[in-house]
């Protein structure tokens, strides 16, 4: 999927008439990093890709959406959930295009040792989640907790936050974010 991310990023950037240097400047991500992502030599973490896309601006769900949904759908089969992450982290979102939607609902899975990256994320709104299985280390501002199945979190998303699986088994959880920010 990292090759697909690179091709997609380059196609969107060129369609919008943005140079790599301009995108680097407005996103705060090094030009060399954007070049490596586009050439599929670097598989970005979720937080890194979000930071790059903030310079466009575009959400992760818009980036990964194959097509805009023509009608308001009500039901989604498991195989129809939109994957908006890559690598050791899976974010399977309900619905492809969340433009003009109030809530983003995601089934997340972190493989052992995987996380959202070294750089904390911040964005507008609030988010919450409940761990279904495994363990998840959640850092919000200067507070860190390891959550287990049945544990949950809820915080304002303008606080710097990170997620990581410190365990030896995959961690699955259901999360919600309002407004949609990925």
What is the distance between the alpha carbons of residues 111 and 26, in angstroms, rounded to a whole number? 32
Residue 1 has pLDDT above 60, yes or no: no
Q: Which residue has the tokens 């040792």?
A: 113
**Stated pTM of the model:** 0.67
List, for residues 110-120, the tens digit of each pLDDT value.
999 999 988 99
SS (H, E, C) the chain: CHHHHHHHHHHHHHHCCCCHHHHHHHHCCCHHHHHHHHCCCCCCCHHHHHHHHHCCCCCHHHHHCCCCCCCCCCCCCHHHCEECCCCCEEEEECCCCCCCCCCEEEEEEECCCCECCCCCECCCCEEEEEEEECEEEEEECCEEEEEECCCEEEEECCCCEEEECCCCCCEEEEEEEECCCC
**Topology of 71-178 in CATH?**
Jelly Rolls (2.60.120)
pLDDT at 69: 46
- Every domain of the chain with CATH number 2.60.120.10 lies at 71-178
- Every domain of the chain with CATH number 1.10.260.40 lies at 2-63
* CATH code for the domain defined by 2-63: 1.10.260.40
List, for residues 138-169, the tens digit of each pLDDT value.
999 999 999 999 999 999 999 999 999 999 99
């Amino acid at each position: 999927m990292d090759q697909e991310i690179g091709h997609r990023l380059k196609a969107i950037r060129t369609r919008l008439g943005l140079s790599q240097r301009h995108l680097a400047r407005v996103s705060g991500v090094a030009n060399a990093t954007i070049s490596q992502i586009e050439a599929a030599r670097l598989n970005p973490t979720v937080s890194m890709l979000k930071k790059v896309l903030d310079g466009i601006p575009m959400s992760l769900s818009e980036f990964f959406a194959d097509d805009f949904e023509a009608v308001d759908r009500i039901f989604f089969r498991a195989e129809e959930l939109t994957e908006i992450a890559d690598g050791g982290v899976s974010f399977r979102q309900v619905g492809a295009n969340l433009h003009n939607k109030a809530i983003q609902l995601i089934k997340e899975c972190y493989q052992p040792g995987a996380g959202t990256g070294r750089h904390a994320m911040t964005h507008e709104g609030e988010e919450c989640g409940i761990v279904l299985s495994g363990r998840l280390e959640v850092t919000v501002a200067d507070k860190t907790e390891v959550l287990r199945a049945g544990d949950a979190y809820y915080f304002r998303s303008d606080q710097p936050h990170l997620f990581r699986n410190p365990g030896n088994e995959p961690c699955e959880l259901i999360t919600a974010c309002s407004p949609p920010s990925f």
